[in-house]
Chains A and B, each alone.
Chain A
Amino acid sequence: DQQVKQNSPSLSVQEGRISILNCDYTNSMFDYFLWYKKYPAEGPTFLISISSIKDKNEDGRFTVFLNKSAKHLSLHIVPSQPGDSAVYFCAASALGGSNYKLTFGKGTLLTVNP
């Protein structure tokens, strides 16, 4: 039973345009969400997070939106750059339940074309 789903295995965008990566979850106990970027042979790098008490969090070119009623979150990257090409993972945890482990989606490979 996959509790965090990233339904698009891959996404290709042009440099300078917006990249939108999507993530759905099924566990209503999740209250803290994170996005990680991963290059081959490296560990996941933390990008941005959002608590369930918010619906938006912004950090530079990265914005995460949370729609709790739809159990959906998205990561917007504007403008996209070739160096953003990587696998992006959505992750969630249930802090309110003292459960700090991360449950990951299967990732979306983003390719930003020059």
Chain B
Amino acid sequence: AQSVAQPEDQVNVAEGNPLTVKCTYSVSGNPYLFWYVQYPNRGLQFLLKYITGDNLVKGSYGFEAEFNKSQTSFHLKKPSALVSDSALYFCAVRDDNAGNMLTFGGGTRLMVKP
């Protein structure tokens, strides 16, 4: 079985400061990991993914994520937050043995204050 946890319901950060949104996962095989963002009244937008290779993955809007196999984590990061980054962020995992179904975390609301 595959599962993913986002331990923080909300993260608050000041504009210009670095941000981290946490994600941990559990799979029986090798993980495929994804981050999505959801702005108010919109569907989810793909940000980045880890499939294999370099542990640091770069994505859209200046976001990046670090895959850490020993800690089973895939935290989303950005060096300098913008007010416009305020949104709901979802981490998702797929076990490479589990076909095409993604399992999503519960979501983390990011609030960036000016």
Does B associate with A? no
